[in-house]
């Protein structure tokens, strides 16, 4: 028998993710590719679990799942940052990471 804590966590991830993702991401965020979004904001996300939710909107679900894949790999995050960030943006991100922002 699953513990109440496990059931609660499982229920949370079985909830519809559309609403949560729409609260978390701006329209501007969703206009970017998951790769660019990760490049620009991975250092701000902390622990990311939205990719475990169910989505009615298949496009949104695919976008969020891809972002989750990228955020699960430091090397993928770095690859995206090198691809999308200018040297100045890269320096800003590195400074914010160092400061824990």
The mean of the pLDDT values for the chain is 85
Res 31 pLDDT > 90: yes
- Distances in whole angstroms, Cα of residue 20 to Cα of each of 3, 69, 76: 25, 18, 24
What are 47-64's pLDDT values in tens digits? 888 888 989 999 999 999
Res 82 pLDDT > 90: yes
Share of the chain above pLDDT 70, in %: 84
Residues with Cβ < 8 Å from 67, sequence gap 6 or more? Answer: 34, 37, 38, 48, 50, 51
């Amino acid at each position: 028998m699953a513990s109440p804590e496990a059931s609660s966590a499982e229920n949370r991830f079985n909830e519809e993710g559309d609403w949560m993702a729409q609260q978390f991401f701006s329209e501007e965020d969703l206009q970017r590719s998951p790769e660019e979004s990760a490049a620009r904001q991975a250092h701000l996300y902390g622990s990311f679990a939205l990719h475990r939710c169910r989505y009615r909107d298949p496009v949104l679900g695919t976008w969020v799942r891809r972002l989750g894949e990228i955020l699960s790999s430091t090397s993928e995050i770095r690859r995206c940052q090198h691809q999308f960030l200018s040297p100045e943006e890269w320096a800003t991100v590195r400074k914010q990471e160092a400061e824990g922002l």
